[in-house]
Amino acid sequence: MTSPTPYERNYTAEQTRLAEHLIDLEKGALDKWFNGDVSGYREIWSRTSFTYFDGDNPKRVEDHDTIDQFLDALDGKLHADVYELHSPRIQFGIDMALLTFQLFADTNLIDMKYNCVELYQREKDDQWRVIHSTWSFIRPMDMDFTSVKEIV
């Protein structure tokens, strides 16, 4: 196990347990995901309040019914022998927690390199579910910062 980051050293004992739980929920969904089983995300993505951004879709997905269609299209089709979840970090609010991480996997369909954001909220049934998810591609920096333009 890695040593806590400076941010994690400020967690209360309850936050430490919750952070571990939420990261385990995400890893459980990813374990299924890379074995062609989309049910893990069906379970952790909220059915009552959900939005989603993906690098392959120019518009925000507005509800769980629409994401269900996306999941249906991938069910049984995506596989990877291994994946790497890098630097997971939880930031807390009141009954909300923000999980950010980088995901790397060479799958049978695409090579995944994503910055991932999962906003969890405690729902009425006291379960933590994702109310917003963003999966954005990690791209190499191609901007030239060697010359600075004059500010007008």
What is the per-residue pLDDT for 2?
Answer: 66
pLDDT bracket for residue 35 (50, 70, 90): very high
Judged against a pLDDT cut of 60, whether residue 142 lies above it is answered with no
What is the per-residue pLDDT for 43?
Answer: 96
* Average pLDDT, integer, range 66-91: 94
Round the average pLDDT of the chain to a whole number and report it.
Answer: 89
Greater pLDDT, 33 or 141: 33
As a whole number of angstroms, the distance between CA 104 and CA 83 comes to 6
* Average pLDDT, integer, range 105-133: 94
What is the per-residue pLDDT for 4?
Answer: 73
Greater pLDDT, 57 or 145: 57
CATH architecture of 8-137: Roll (3.10)
The full 3-state SS of 91-129, as one line of letters, equals EEECCEEEEEEEEEEECCCCEEEEEEEEEEEECCCCCEE
Candidates 85, 82, 128, 76; CA nearest to 103 is 85
